[in-house]
A = this chain, B = another copy of it.
Amino acid sequence: MVKRSSLEGGECPVARALDAIGDGWSLLIIRDAFDGIHRFGEFQRNLGMAKNILAVRLKNLVAHGVLEIVPASDGSAYQEYVLTEKGKGLFHLIIGLRQWGEEYLYEAGERHSVMVDRQQGAALRPLELRAEDGRLLGPEDCRRIPVAGA
């Protein structure tokens, strides 16, 4: 696991949450892809990752079908990495990391990036988990069943 101590004081609650709970280069790449970063050099500059590590993680994300390689959107010779449908499915996970980081990993008044609703520019509600009938569920309301077959 690569220690990202340089991110501990950073502005992104996603990065800070990952620093607290585990490795997260891949999730940081995905976070950046949601933010509209698509090129190798942009990821590299934004994350400050070694090129060889970044190359391995991008290759792995493409192999897992989270990112796909497409021609550059501006018609140039660059390749771009974009989220697949499977990759976009990680949206709630990234938001979950962010909201936990925002709630628990910053002092009052400490600066951090925020995610807003594009239409209103307003803050987002916390993620909600609901039962089929619409009841809001917390940890005590759920139970894991080890295995469900076909």
Q: Does A47 contact B (CB under 8 A)?
A: no
Say how far A73's CB is from chain B's closest CB, in angstroms: 16
Residue of B nearest to A96 (CB): B93
Please report the C-alpha to C-alpha distance between residue A119 and residue B64 in the assembled complex, in whole angstroms.
Answer: 36
By DSSP majority rule, is chain A's interface helix, strand, loop, or mixed? mixed
Contact of A144 among B113, B122, B123, B139 (CB under 8 A): B113
**Would you call A100 and B96 a contact (CB within 8 A)?**
no
B residues less than 8 Å from A117 (CB atoms): 131-132, 135, 137, 141-143
Residues on B with beta carbons closer than 8 Å to the beta carbon of A138? 88, 91
List residues of A whose CB falls within 8 A of some B CB: 1-2, 11, 17, 20-27, 30, 34-35, 61, 64-66, 83, 86, 88-93, 95-97, 99-100, 103-104, 108-120, 122-133, 135, 137-150
Not counting A109-B150, A125-B130, a sample of 18 additional A-B residue pairs whose C-beta atoms are within 8 angstroms of each other reads A20-B66, A21-B30, A21-B61, A21-B90, A22-B26, A65-B104, A92-B100, A95-B96, A111-B148, A112-B147, A113-B146, A114-B144, A116-B145, A117-B132, A118-B142, A119-B135, A122-B133, A124-B137
